[in-house]
Amino acid sequence: MGMDAARLKGLLLDLLWPQTCAHCRRDLPRGWDDPLCAACLLRLRPVDRPWCARCGVPDSGGRLCASCRADASACRMIRAASLYREASVSLIHAFKYRGRKSAALWAGGYMARAWARCPELGRPDVLIPVPLHRRRLAERGYNQAELLAQALGQSAGLPVMERGLARLKNTKPQWALGRKKRLENLAGAFAADAALFRGLRVLLIDDVCTTGASLEECARSLRRAGARDVSAYAFAREL
């Protein structure tokens, strides 16, 4: 009943290596490097212009959306590589809730390829991943935004700063709240080390941008710490 070495190796690889598409869950061909199958790769949709000139929310006719018109922002601009839909949602769930780190690195590579679509972001001095609260970090074992930033930084030749910005409050996502209320809840949630950010042009990196409230709160901390300019780039943009 001997199992041959190749088959044993295959079984071990299957155990160690997630081999199903993060979206449709079908088996991926052996040696396939992408976390999505060929059909689902096509379902990763870029954000189409026109979008809000500041926060990047689609369908605003290219002008500022209502909430950007109403409030001055510390975060100069938000852009995203994909729409938070279908395959994009599954991919985020795979690296956020199912421990699939390699999918986050892949998504960072996708962000690098999509970056050319947003020349208005300019060239930052550093990439800064939106930090997790230490308790959340301990649960997950990694910060997905950090993996995205590492992959993007490597491909774009930009340094990643993983220290100096900390999340002090472990706030739950507040889906039901409007932008104003979310900002109030997040006030004081982040702290930035003034010695590290003075004069820097910063690009914040996150997996998903919903209302932009946590990006805005990070930007406020960084601007208070002397950063010259703060913009943000997310893997996915929710409508």
Residue 37 lies near Zn ion (rule: CB under 5 A): yes
In the list 18, 24, 156, 196, the residue contacting Zn ion (rule: CB under 5 A) is 24
Nearer CB in complex with Zn ion: 13/38: 38
Does 65 help bind Zn ion (rule: CB under 5 A)?
Answer: yes
Residue in this structure with the two tokens 């932008």, named with its chain if needed: 179
Instruction: Confirm if 105 and 150 have CB atoms less than 8 A apart.
Output: yes
Name which position in 47, 68, 215, 219 contacts Zn ion (CB under 5 A): 68
**Rule CB under 5 A: is residue 40 a binding residue for Zn ion?**
yes
Least separation in angstroms between CB 56 and Zn ion: 7
Asked whether the beta carbons of 212 and 74 are under 8 A apart, the reply is no
Rounded to the nearest whole angstrom, what is the least distance from the CB of residue 111 to Zn ion in the complex?
A: 20
Work out whether 21 is an interface residue with Zn ion (CB under 5 A): yes
Query: Closer CB to Zn ion, residue 130 or residue 209?
Result: 209
Of 94 and 147, nearer to Zn ion (C-beta) is 94
> Which CB, 134 or 181, lies closer to Zn ion?
181
The span of 51-59, 144-152, 170-178, 196-204 binding Zn ion (CB under 5 A) equals: 51-59
Q: Of residues 28, 47, 52, 81, which one binds Zn ion by CB under 5 A?
A: 52
Tell me how far, at minimum, the Cβ of 40 lies from Zn ion, in Å. 3
Question: For the chain, what is the HEC assignment?
Answer: CCCCHHHHHHHHHHHHCCCECCCCCCECCCCCCCCCCHHHHCCCCCCCCCECCCCCCECCCCCCCHHHHHCCCCCCCEEEEEECCHHHHHHHHHHHHCCCHHHHHHHHHHHHHHHHHCHHHCCCCEEEECCCEHHHHHHHCCCHHHHHHHHHHHHHCCCECCCCEEECCCCCCCCCCCHHHHHHHHCCCEEECHHHHCCCEEEEEEEEECCCHHHHHHHHHHHHCCCCEEEEEEEEECC
Give min distance, CB of 126 to Zn ion, in A: 24
User: Which of the ranges 39-47, 114-122, 142-150, 219-227 carries the binding residues for Zn ion, by CB under 5 A?
Assistant: 39-47
Residue 55 sits in the site that holds Zn ion (CB under 5 A) = yes
- Return residues touching Zn ion (CB under 5 A): 21, 23-24, 37, 40, 52, 54-55, 65, 68
